Structure 1
Amino acid sequence: MMKFRLLQAHEPLPMELLLEADPSERLVRAYCAAGWCMIAEREGSVIGVYVLLALSNTTVEIKNLVVAESFRSRGYGRQFLQRALTEAMHRGFQFVEIGTGNSSLDQLALYQKCGFRIHAIDSDFFKRNYPEPIFENGIECRDMIRLRYTVSS
């Protein structure tokens, strides 16, 4: 059985997992320190993580969401996303935003299937914020696609 819990301040970040979704340790540490880092555990092992960061009184962003490689393609990503939306609703947020690269085709499909709509495009975000080029699915990751979900009460 899988359970989610808030990572406590004294616990180390599951950095290896977090860096799979965001290769900048500096950025990961910054938003984890300012947000809520939720880990998913199964039989005592961390199988995934997501991080929520308040952008305003009404909007929270999912800054990182990753499933351990050995648990991928089994529906856990959707479960994590649904859990993050539930958490946002319980914390009183109206909107949940998530950003992903233009080359993250599977993530773009998943987010839209879960009710997110494309909200904005931050052109050349990855070129500005990461020193090394990022490639995924044979496509250079240049632009941040920002999606938004409206929480229903």
Structure 2
Amino acid sequence: MNLEIGKLGHTEKAPMDLLFKADPSIEMIEKYLYSGECYLAKMNDEVVGVFVLMPNNPQEMELKNISIVDQYQGQGIGKEIIKYVMRISKMEGYEYLVVKTADTSADTIKYYEKMKFEHYFVAKGHFLKYYNQPIIENGNQAIDQVAMRRKL
């Protein structure tokens, strides 16, 4: 796989449509784009994925949003991105990588468990408090946010 990962260039715009696939709140996306660092994953100069990193504190780096273009899903790009994020986070002195997802995201939770992330905490009512519209996933409304972390 010829995957190139790098920070969003100063002249590049964040691929909002791709970020929006992973987080349906433009307001939330804009907040963490402002506070964090946006990265693009490209193959042959084509954007195939995007993610945003933001430190929570001196020990924790959080992967705020990760999204892969539909036609490239299931090809190991997400796994390569997470390995890249773990490597650079460790090099920058962080001890943990944190990911958060909806309580309705069973497949995503299983994926992170497979990547050796452990359950960290649950933010009760997160999606009711911070999102104006209900988020429906797998036929259920997302209510709680599940945080998971992995030691680097």
TM-score by length of 1: 0.94
* Equivalent runs, 1:27-66 vs 2, <5 Å: 27-66=28-67
Moved more, 75-84 or 109-118: 75-84
CA distance in 2, matches of 1:138, 1:84: 31
> Structure 2: which 5+ runs fail to align?
none
CA distance in 2, matches of 1:10, 1:90: 27
CA RMSD of aligned residues (A): 1.0
CA distance in 1, matches of 2:21, 2:27: 14
CA distance in 1, matches of 2:56, 2:144: 20
Paired residues in the alignment total 151
Following superposition, the deviation at residue 14 of structure 1 comes to 0.8
Following superposition, the deviation at residue 6 of structure 1 comes to 0.5
- 1:16-50 CA deviation, whole Å, 9 max, x = no partner? 10011111112111211211211100111100011
Q: Is 1:12 aligned with 2:13?
A: yes
- SS of the residue 2:122 aligns to: strand
Equivalence for 2:101: 100
- 1:33-73 CA deviation, whole Å, 9 max, x = no partner? 21121110011110001111011111111100111111112
> Structure 1: which 5+ runs fail to align?
none
- Give the partner amino acid of 1:116: F
Equivalence for 1:70: 71
CA distance in 1, matches of 2:96, 2:127: 24
- Give the partner amino acid of 1:76: I
Following superposition, the deviation at residue 116 of structure 1 comes to 0.7
CA distance in 1, matches of 2:30, 2:84: 22
Q: Structure 1 runs of 4+ off > 6 angstroms?
A: none
Equivalence for 1:22: 23
CA distance in 1, matches of 2:51, 2:92: 15
CA distance in 2, matches of 1:79, 1:106: 18
Equivalence for 1:126: 127
Equivalence for 1:111: 112
Following superposition, the deviation at residue 112 of structure 1 comes to 0.9
CA distance in 2, matches of 1:57, 1:17: 29
CA distance in 1, matches of 2:42, 2:103: 30
TM-score by length of 2: 0.95
- SS of the residue 1:55 aligns to: strand
